[in-house]
Amino acid sequence: MLVGVPREIKVHEYRVGLTPGSARELVAAGHQVLVETGAGSGIGMDDDAYMRVGAAIAATAADVFARADMIVKVKEPQPSEWVMLRPDQILFTYLHLAPDPEQARGLMRSGCTAIAYETIVDERGGLPLLAPMSEVAGRLSIEAAGAALRRHAGGPGILLGGVPGVSASRVVVIGGGVVGTHAARMAIGLGADVSIIDASLPRLRQLDELFGGRVRTRLSTMDAIEEEISEADATIGAVLIPGKAAPKLVTRKMLGLMKRHAVLIDVAIDQGGCFETSRPTTHDEPTFIVDEIIHYCVANMPGAVPRTSSYALNNATLPYALALANDGLGALERSPGFKEGLNIHRGAIANMSVAQSLGDFDQHELVH
């Protein structure tokens, strides 16, 4: 199979779908790898690094899309890329289709088979290809909160961990999954006063044990959310329902309960966001203010640390990419969890959770 790697074109997206090491593994397995020139520059890898492992270099993205049997990316394809996809092609990348019907229809029109990293499930029910970026995003969320709380950024001018004699900041993490766990770990490490809210009591017990009682744990209810955010200096939205749009757990009315110039970090923005007032932002302009509350809603947070992110992502995606290159779509049939990654096939939506979120689609647009 010829595996193509175009350069990412989303704003300030510097990650790459295949690192040179991953390209080497595919070449060693008997496949061809075609990389757009400069695709690895964001992680410090030039074209020579790819050529040394046996990959070929293409002058343009159009060349990659025209020749490749499978396209491996990081972020969802942009409109200029939808039109280059074709019916006999596999697209393997993050898609986050639930809040993005325009992209869904663009991929459907292309006729390609689109497999999403974020809906692939492992044998334990986990999300193995989402986890590494969730780890990165969770840690970055606390860095972003610390920066947004500074006075010159519009914040109240407080330090997350405080100092001796001055109280630490209050951080509330909504969602106790991978993002929330790593956000809490970073916040605790900096000395912040941390609460975690989650809908699962067994998960809260696990978190209490994991952190040795150093966090407050609250079962997710409207009362608990209102009480916690009213005291918070920073609130991290870390809620995920695989394949579905994130629930809006903090409403605009609730902003009135919060401290002025408090910070909301919406890590769930790729899935539509878990704050009612959220909208996607970029690394260029990461924040905006609603009702005196600072919102940080960057849709590709791990893109800020592309070297770490690309290698962490490739550690997880390479076995799946090799399986697709070796066996094509037959690899999905041998693994029910892998098949959960199938989002678009032959012009129709193939994942039920995605289909339910895109509820305005006609029945003939869904695979049953």
Q: Residues of 312-327 as b/e, b for ≥16 C-beta within 10 angstroms?
A: bbbebbbebbbbbbee
Of 228, 215, 218, the C-alpha closest to 198 is: 218
Query: Residue 242 corresponds to which amino acid?
Result: P
Distance (Å, whole) CA 278 – CA 268: 10
Of 326, 319, 366, 321, the C-alpha closest to 343 is: 366
List 100, 270, 295, 345, catalytic entry: 270
In angstroms, how far is CA 175 from the centroid of its own chain? 15
List 31, 47, 96, 233, catalytic entry: 96
- Class of residue 305 by CB neighbours under 10 A (exposed 0-12, middle 13-18, buried 19+): middle
DSSP 8-state symbol, 275: B
Distance (Å, whole) CA 139 – CA 185: 8
Contacts of 292 (CB under 8 A, 6+ apart): 260, 261
96 part of the active site:
yes
- Cα–Cα separations (whole angstroms), residue 160 to 70, 148, 169, 305: 45, 10, 5, 21
31 part of the active site:
no
Catalytic residue positions, numbered: 96, 270
